[in-house]
Amino acid sequence: MIGRRRAVLAPVLVAAAVLTGCGSGSQGGGPARISVSEAYIPLPASPTDAAGYLTLHNTGGTDDQLVKVGSPDARQVTMHRSTATSMAALPELPVPAHGSAAFTRGGDHLMIMGLAHRPTLGSTVRLDLTFARSGTITVKVPIKPLAYRPSDAGTASGS
Ligand SMILES: [Cu+2]
């Protein structure tokens, strides 16, 4: 261990660790830092149930996990993993340090059940995403046309 002078030096050490992009999974690379992009819900046929998609980014130096999703606008939100023939509940979604994870069409997805209001284009559904390390992040997810796909444009990532 390098002798450190506690409080005064600690922020400098954290910054240096981030800059060097030190290894994932270990302590010392700074805390997990989660952001959300490309969140959307394709307009469902059902008045009460929908699938949700979003991308999670972790620009911090510590792995994190999405452990729970809730919504004041729905009875229940669960994480699902699609397999070739079925889908199964996903207990958590890992978001590695300096990495990302996504719920995408045909892959892992969010199942939103028991919506209080019939979803309409342009309306939003609030999701509360709870992480093992980063607490809860709230996103307002817009209802998009059924065929919508997030495009290359407009993804604020990096820097
Ligand atoms: Cu599902």
Cα of 82 vs centre of ligand 1, distance in Å, is 7
19 C-alpha to ligand 1 centroid (Å): 39
The per-residue pLDDT for 106 is 86
| Segment 27-58, tens digit of pLDDT | 568 999 999 999 999 999 999 999 999 999 99
Q: Which residues keep their CB under 5 angstroms from ion ligand 1?
A: 80, 87, 111
Whole-number Cα distances in Å, 8 to 14, 16, 51, 95:
12, 14, 47, 30
- H or E segment at 8? helix 6-19
pTM of the entire predicted model: 0.77
Give 58-77 pLDDT, tens digit per residue: 999 999 999 999 999 999 99
As a whole number, the mean pLDDT across the chain is 85
* Secondary structure tally for the chain: helices H, strands E: 1, 10
pLDDT band at 10 (very low <50, low <70, confident <90, very high): very low
The full set of domain ranges for the chain reads: 32-144
The pLDDT value given to residue 85: 85
- What does the pLDDT read at residue 82? 86
Cα 102 to middle of ligand 1, angstroms:
14
User: Cα of 111 to ligand 1 centre, how many Å?
Assistant: 5
For 80, the token pair is 């699902």
CATH top-level class of 32-144: mainly beta
